Amino acid sequence: MPAVDAIEFEVLVRPRASRSALAGVHDGMLAVRVGAPPADGRANDAVIELLATTFGVRASAVEIVRGASARRKLVRIRGDAARLATVLNASKGSAT
């Protein structure tokens, strides 16, 4: 049975983008673009959905730990930490 653990990392969110996607690395943080506006938590919901899809986990496994009302957020993703770290490193290397 795989170990259930978690990883935490910072993301820089750019709301109101033309589409939701990973957008590379900015100041060491994974940059993400989301189409939703930063109102009523819609951008946060879009960030959670994008990260859940990217990391292959359920949305309930993704949590915004800090920065819910800021562009810089600390997120935690629960799951197999080694696999999640591999996906994070690949995302930082291939995001454009």
Q: What is the pLDDT of residues 14-61, one digit of tens each?
A: 999 999 999 999 999 999 999 999 999 999 999 999 999 999 999 999
Q: Model's pTM, two decimal places?
A: 0.90
**Mean pLDDT of the 81-93 span:** 89
**Best CA proximity match to 66, nearest among 76, 78, 77, 51:** 76
What residue ranges in 1-96 does DSSP mark as E strands? 5-14, 21-26, 29-33, 62-66, 72-79
Q: In the chain, how many domains are there?
A: 1
Percent residues over pLDDT 70 in the chain: 93
What is the per-residue pLDDT for 95?
54
Six token digits for residue 72: 């810089």
The parent domain of residue 69 ranges over: 5-94
Q: What pLDDT band is residue 91 in, cutting at 50, 70 and 90?
A: confident
What is the C-alpha separation between 12 and 87, in angstroms, rounded?
17
* CATH assignment of the domain containing 42: 3.30.1200.10
**How many H-runs (helices) and E-runs (strands) does the chain carry?**
2, 5
